[in-house]
């Protein structure tokens, strides 16, 4: 589980990150990264009902959190990250690799422009 300081909870923060952040995707995940003037790194997960029932959705969230938690320390201060899981994420065996790959590509695409 991510420490509380890393969790994104505000709906407006999710919307700003998704709308203004750089994105990268695979067939199972989409990641959005925005740089803000805030401090710390915040991560949010969006896993809809198309992914599966509650058990499957929670499993997908745990797998994503576990994969990206070591990567968070390397992100610039003020980073906001949102992962959106798509339906194939439920059966994806290499979801962890997809999550890390999406995160790294989105970070490279993000610019110095602050949200």
pLDDT in tens, 46-104: 999 999 999 999 999 999 999 999 998 889 888 999 999 999 999 999 999 999 999 99
The pLDDT, as a whole number, for residue 111 is 62
Q: Does domain 4-108 have CATH number 3.30.230.10?
A: yes
pLDDT in tens, 13-47: 999 999 999 999 999 999 999 998 888 899 999 99
Determine how many CB atoms are found less than 10 A away from the CB of residue 5.
9
Radius of gyration in angstroms for the set of CA atoms belonging to the chain, rounded to a whole number: 13
Q: What's the whole-model pTM score?
A: 0.89
Task: Say if residue 2's pLDDT is above 80.
Answer: no
- Closest to 76 in 3D by CA, of 26, 111, 44: 111
In the chain, where the domains are located: 4-108
- The answer to whether residues 33 and 21 touch, using CB atoms and an 8 Å cutoff, is yes
- Confidence label for 5 from pLDDT (cuts 50, 70 and 90): confident
């Amino acid at each position: 589980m991510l420490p509380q300081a890393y969790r994104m909870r505000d709906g407006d923060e999710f919307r700003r990150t998704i709308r203004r952040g750089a994105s990268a995707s695979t067939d199972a995940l989409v990641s959005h990264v925005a740089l803000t003037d805030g401090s710390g790194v915040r991560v949010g997960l969006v896993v809809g009902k198309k992914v599966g029932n509650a058990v499957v959705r929670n499993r997908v969230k745990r797998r994503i959190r576990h994969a990206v938690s070591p990567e968070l320390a390397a992100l610039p201060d003020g980073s906001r990250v949102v992962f959106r899981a798509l339906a194939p994420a439920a059966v994806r065996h290499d979801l962890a690799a997809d999550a890390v790959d999406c995160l790294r590509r989105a970070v490279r695409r993000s610019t110095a422009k602050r949200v």
